[in-house]
Amino acid sequence: MLNRIYIGSNNKTGRLEYSKAIKITAKQFEGFTAFKGLGYWQGKQEQNTIIEIETEDKSKIKRLIKTLLKALDQRAIGWVVIGKMDFVSI
């Protein structure tokens, strides 16, 4: 399943910790996609990090989110399961 995680800016500093989120994710997953976005949280605009990971292992995703919550000073992180991702190769 394709899992998409939304991480907002640091709650204390208001800064986006994109590189830190990537380093944490790379320690737990060999492959993923990450990009920056712009979202709203509690009526305020903020930059966010979006990470997509293809895995059936929901417990591994939950462990990653718990690590990110603490390391990036987040009150909440969004997580959505999009569906099965297929790969096309030559």
User: pLDDT by residue (tens digit) across 28-46?
Assistant: 999 999 999 998 878 989 9
Domain 2-80: give its CATH superfamily: ACT domain (3.30.70.260)
Average pLDDT over residues 9-27: 94
Average pLDDT in the chain: 94
Pure H helices in 6-74: 18-28, 58-71
d(CA 62, CA 77): 10
Name the residue ranges covered by the structural domains of the chain.
2-80
CA atoms of 58 and 60, how far apart (whole Å): 5
**Could you give the percent of the chain with pLDDT greater than 70?**
100
Does pLDDT of 86 surpass 90? no
